[in-house]
Amino acid sequence: MRILVTGGAGFIGSAYIRYLLKHRPDVEVVNFDKLTYAGNLENLRGFDADPRYRFFKGDICEAADVARALQGVDAVVHFAAESHVDRSVLDPHAFFRNNVLGTQVLLEACRKAGVTRFHHVSTDEVYGDLALDEDRAFKETDVLHPRSAYAASKAGSDHVVMSYAHSFGMQVTISRCCNNYGTHQFPEKLIPLFTTNAMEDKPLPLFRSSKNTREWIHADDHSAAVDLILREGKIGEIYNIGTGVELSIEEITSLILETLGKPESLKTYVPDRPGHDRRYFIDSSKIKNELGWEPKILFEYGIRATILWYRDNPEWWKRVKTGEYQKYYDAYYKETLKETV
């Protein structure tokens, strides 16, 4: 089976590719990525030499790029997306272009190429938010109430995917996952940003609503869930992927400081972003009951291992935070990259 993974040089996409190459010897992987600021081929260093792996540089909004990459592909797993909520406040257009239009262009290219199996990776943020004391969790059947340009663009892409299932017979599934953590995450997101800032004794900028909570999952557990849905999920269905592990931003920050032996005085409080969601929490009983999935990585172990990975790999995040990763890309293309254009 040959799987095209869009956004495969990003944080979660690269985790999924590493998972496939480790656990699925029957699978070939085509990594399709535009290599924007958050795409980093170092995330796959060591795996890129596997003969089952190929890389195509391209834009999901460009049909010609997608068509070239789809040759010989049996299924698509669609991770590629603009995903940072703060950036969506500053530049909503980029989010709607890439997340909605890009998904439609990708689906249309699949339809023309005869690639009917399509898994779309969405987010729990499409449901909106819950009150901190609200005693319920979002279900797959809940009405969507996105509250940011990012969440709205992902909700839009969910609808685009389902429209291709109903109109053209595409064999689609959708997953909506809670907040991911793990290694190789671009340091604009909470855990890598605060971890690397703390190591440099820089302020950790918490929004004033730091008691807002998120549900947390390791990217490897997310990858295993997506793989299971692709293989055994019911066509046309949506699956929530969560762990039930819920911590506030304040609690995550304290964990980072404690693990690194840094003082609480590094916490700095800044004004909330517009429309800051209070709480995300999802009901994952469907994937557990129907497909038998369970998260395997205990949060206490996974979060500590993640923080220590950033501590022990300063060469990775310093290149990313300073922009030197672009120099790495240029050299990598010339010497070792198996790129088809």
Tens digit of each residue's pLDDT (9 = 90 or more) over 203-231 = 998 887 778 899 999 999 999 999 999 99
Percent of the chain with pLDDT over 90: 78
Residue type, 241: I
1 Cβ neighbours under 8 A, 6+ residues apart: 26, 27, 28, 74, 75
The DSSP secondary structure of 6-25, one letter per residue, reads: ETTTSHHHHHHHHHHHHH-T
List the structure tokens of 166. Answer: 């109903």
Grade residue 95 by pLDDT with cuts at 50, 70 and 90: confident
Measured CA to CA, the distance from residue 219 to residue 284 in angstroms comes to: 16
Domains in the chain (CATH in brackets) are: 2-181+217-242+279-298+324-335 (3.40.50.720)
pLDDT surpassing 80 at residue 3:
yes
Listed residue (35, 36, 40) closest to 316, CA to CA: 40
Q: What is the pLDDT of residues 4-48, one digit of tens each?
A: 999 999 999 999 999 999 999 999 999 999 998 888 999 999 998
The two tokens of residue 277 are 């969601």
CA distance 265 to 295: 34
Taking phi over 0 as left and psi of -120 to 50 as alpha, with beta for the rest, 319 belongs to alpha
Work out the average pLDDT over 233-254: 97
Structure tokens belonging to residue 273:
């972003």
Q: What is the pLDDT of residues 42-75, one digit of tens each?
A: 999 999 899 999 999 999 999 999 999 999 999 9
Q: Does the pLDDT of residue 337 top 70, yes or no?
A: no
Active site residues: 124-125, 150
Residue 325 pLDDT > 90, yes or no? no
Residue 275 confidence class, pLDDT cut points 50, 70, 90: low
Query: How far apart (Å, rounded) are the C-alpha atoms in residues 337 and 329?
Result: 9
Q: 114-137 b/e with 16+ CB inside 10 Å = b?
A: ebbbbbbbbbbbbbbbbeeeeeeb
Give me the residues paired with residue 176 across strands.
122, 240
Q: How far apart are CA 15 and CA 274, in angstroms?
A: 31
